[in-house]
Structure 1
Amino acid sequence: MKKTFKIYAVIFIVVMLILALLEVNKKETTSWRKNFDINEKSPFGLFVFNNEAKDLFKNNLSKTEQAPYDYYGQRKKNLHNIIVIEKDLDKQSWMKILDQVSDGSDAMIIVSHVPKNIEDTIGYHSSDISFAEENVLKLTDTKYQNDFIKLDKFPSGRGFSFIKPKVDVLGKTVEKNNSDQVNFIKTSFGKGTIYVHSEPLFLTNYYLLKPGSLKYAQDVFSYLQDRETIWFVENDTKVSRFFMRFVLSNPALKYAWWIFLGGLMLFIFFNAKRKQRIVPVLEPLRNTSVDFVKSIGNLYLQEGNFHDMMAKKAQYFLNRIRMDLLIDTQHLDGEFANKLHLKTGKPIEMIDEAITLMRKGQDPYASVMKEDLVRMNKLLDEILR
């Protein structure tokens, strides 16, 4: 049992070590996933913007991982700026942001998708406005006309398909084979202002590291007032690079993985515990006495010495009579026959015939045939039964 368990344990450890070595030695590949993670250095992470944000907002920027609903539910804030960059928020959080804007704060929302009811409240409808592989983002203000950014890697093509009156257009998407489409708007909401930009890619590492691209980002945020700014980020912790991170980051896959490991360990444990060595088959000791008797019988039968066999059978029979029935067998006469009849209950005729055959077998000059041996053997067995 212990040996089998150790074998399974060694195999499991070796497999895990091989997986770990493959993960450590594999070549780093560039991930083009649009993650918008402030700690991610991949092309579409926000690592560069996160490092430049303090200077951009003159060290008046605060980041929080809390949802707006929880953040504003725990504290009251003076008028401030709000930044949301490609972050999934629930309806209650969006309403908290609108409440803050209504009181006089400003919000810069840079996302590709906003819930429909929030769009209706602000006064626009968003959709896919471009399917080109390349486009250019420009601002409409003349003082920023020389500042633009070219999107040549996976632009989302999002923009505004409908804008209500009193909504100002601040930026557009420019294409070669299409008319300009709105991607940056401004609208008043209560005492504050809401800015919505539909293409968050311009803040990612890939584009900010291009010459001149940072100026476009500075122009976009220049619309915000110079005051305290709250940035609602997705996560401010280092992303794990463990090769199982995708499985462990999904609850269903994580539970399935742990159930698989638990089941595997239980299988190894119980299989090793219950499995025993093969029990060898031990042949029972053979009755050599029977074989010996058969051999002797075959020998006599082959030689055809029926007279000697009758004599030995008679001798064996008389010995049983003396030992079991306590009858004197010295004289095989009428008295012997009568005593044997009384103690065995067998017919006197059968006993007399048996005595006659035994005398014949004991007489060395008598002529004996095979039939005599068979008949005597049958009679004697019947008497002793």
Structure 2
Amino acid sequence: MDKGAKLGLYIIGLVIMVLIVVEIAKPKPVNWKDSYTSFDKIPLGCYVLREELNEFPNQVQDVDVNITNNPYLQDSTKRQSLIMINNYFYFDETETNALLDFVARGNDVFISGMNISGYLNDTLKIDIQRAYGNTMATNILNTLSNRQIAKDSVHFTTVVENSMISSIDTLQTVALGYTQDLTKDDEEVELNFVKIPFGNQKGAFYLHTNPYAFSNYHILNGNKAYASSALSYILDNDIIWDNYYKAGRRVVTTPLRYVLQQDALKWAIYTAIISLIIFIIFRGKRTQRIIPVIQPLENTSLEFTKTIGSLYFQHKDYTNIIQKKIIYFLEYIRTNFYLNTLELNKKFVENLAVKSGKSLEETKDIIHYIQYLNNKAIHTEQDLVDLNTKIERFLNS
């Protein structure tokens, strides 16, 4: 390699290093994605809240599996409270039954989400309505109905969406909190926090429609008291913290995905790839000869088949075409269903119906028609059309 080529490589390497340093040194933009996980320190994570729960004397368990596989929900020796916070929830029938069984044994479930749907809503006779708007510039007032903690009501001016409980079972549901959109002229007050007792063991569901209140952003910006007061209904029990039903739950399925999530490993693999590309460009120009383009042989079997078919049809040799179609159809049966086609008897028809998944009547119809054509000396165009229709229907239905 001459001095000019070496100098060029050095310059390219220096430029790459400068770009990497600039990329690493520049400030990262704020990540405003919904997360609500206990390990995310971004504004809409729940790292701060999860750390605050450690200050309570009761035991706190983190669970990374769904409700039906949660071992702590099966513990009947003590009262527990399950905390679930996310932007939305959908509970299927199995998950709903697991929650209902957990609460029926005297435990509590606290669910905070802008949208809660599924079988649980039907059972508890509750509907959630979400007001779609500007997430970053909403003017929402959340109040608590209990006089002792009403002072902890909070006025959200940023980073919140309004969601309310539009329908409840008035005989069972207890109102715990309200929401009010101050950007609207009517300033209508709606429910956004309720208690729904369930079972005979004093267990209850606590449904709350403002998960933003429990995020790092609001707890660190003076709204900690509201989150604490909302959770005060269930903090007397041991806590089960859900880390599964989260928008920001990390799902690592491949080693490469893990590598790209780590900044150091990500830049290491990028540098290696760029270096490899540069090596190939400069080294390949000296040693790699031009590879000639060889056009693949054109497949003309379809055109040939069409030509032969047209030739037969123009000569109106229907008998010959019918015989070939029968031969190809029987070959298809032998190849795909492994049946002997020498004798097209009743046993053959029954076996073909079972293996092909077609009805016995449909199978019997096409086989009898083939036998009819085999015994016929002269065939017409209609015979050919009918045979083709039956075969196409049998193969494609």
For Structure 1 versus Structure 2, the TM-score category normalised by the shorter chain is 0.5 to 0.7
Matches within 5 A, 1:221-370: 221-224=231-234, 226-234=236-244, 248=260, 276=287
Give the match for residue 159 of structure 1.
164
Question: What is the TM-score of this pair, normalised by structure 1?
Answer: 0.56
**Partner in structure 2 of residue 321 of structure 1:** none
Cα separation, 1, equivalents of 2:62 and 2:214: 16
Secondary structure of 1:142's partner? Answer: coil
How has the CA–CA distance of structure 1 residues 268 and 207 changed in structure 2, closer, same or farther, with 3 Å as cutoff? same
2:28 alignment partner, SS class: coil
Q: Secondary structure, in 3 states, of the residue corresponding to 1:218?
A: helix
**2:58–2:239 Cα contact (<8 Å) kept:** no
Partner of 2:196: 187
Secondary structure of 2:29's match? coil
Is the CA contact (8 Å cut-off) linking 1:149 and 1:202 kept in structure 2?
no
- CA distance in 2 between counterparts of 1:150 and 1:62 reads 31
Distance 1:246 1:137 in 2: 40
Which residue pairs with 2:322 in the alignment? none
Match of 2:229 among 202, 219, 228: 219
Which of 203, 218, 226 is the matching residue for 1:207? 218
- What is the aligned partner in structure 2 of residue 121 from structure 1? 123
Name the amino acid aligned to 2:117: P
SS state of the match for residue 29, structure 1?
coil
RMSD (CA atoms): 4.3
142 and 23 in structure 1: CA distance in 2 versus 1, 3 angstrom threshold: same
Cα displacement (A) at 1:90 = 5.6
Within the alignment, does 1:173 sit opposite 2:179 as a pair?
Answer: yes
Q: Using the alignment, how far apart are the partners of 2:43 and 2:118 within structure 1?
A: 29
Cα distance between partner residues in 2 of 1:90 and 1:8: 61
* Aligned twin of 1:137: 142
Residue 149 of structure 1 corresponds to 154
Unaligned runs of 5+ in 1: 250-257, 280-385
Is this contact kept in 1: 2:243–2:249, CA < 8 A? no
**Unpaired segments of 5 or more residues in structure 2?**
262-268, 291-397
Comparing 140-149 and 93-102, the one that deviates more? 93-102
CA contact (8 A) 1:39 1:237 kept: no
TM-score calculated relative to the size of structure 2? 0.54
Q: 1:9 to 1:97 in 2, by over 3 A?
A: farther
CA-CA distance at 1:154 after TM superposition: 2.8
Deviation at 1:117, TM superposition (A): 2.2
Q: Is the 8 A contact 1:129 1:161 kept in 2?
A: no
Identity %: 22
Q: Which amino acid aligns with 2:50?
A: N
Instruction: Determine the C-alpha separation between the residues in 1 that align with 2:81 and 2:99.
Output: 10
| Deviation at residue 127 of structure 1 after TM alignment | 1.2
1:368 paired residue number: none
Distance (Å, rounded) in 1 between the aligned partners of 2:72 and 2:106: 18
TM-superposed CA distance for 1:247, in Å, is 10
- What secondary structure, in the 3-state scheme, does the structure 1 residue paired with 2:151 have? coil
Deviation at 1:82, TM superposition (A): 0.8
2:60 counterpart residue number: 61
Determine if the alignment matches structure 1 residue 101 to structure 2 residue 106: no
CA spacing shift, 1:43–1:167, aligned 2, 3 Å: same
- Does the alignment pair 1:196 with 2:211? no
Distance 1:62 1:13, change over 3 A: farther
Quickly say closer, same or farther: Cα 1:196–1:34, change in 2 above 3 A: same
Quote the residue 1:52 is aligned against. Answer: 52
Please state whether the residue corresponding to 1:115 is helix, strand or coil.
Answer: strand
> In terms of Rg, which structure is larger?
1
Q: Does residue 1:81 correspond to 2:81, yes or no? A: yes
* Superposed displacement of residue 101, structure 1: 1.0
Aligned 8 A contact 1:136 1:173 in 2: yes
Q: Aligned equivalents of 2:145 and 2:243: distance in 1?
A: 28
Alignment pair present for 1:27 and 2:38: no
Point out the more displaced range, 14-23 or 195-204: 14-23
- Secondary structure of the 1:143 match is coil
Residues 27-69 of structure 1: CA distance to partner in whole angstroms, max 9, x if unpaired?
A: 13323333223233332222221221122x4242222222222
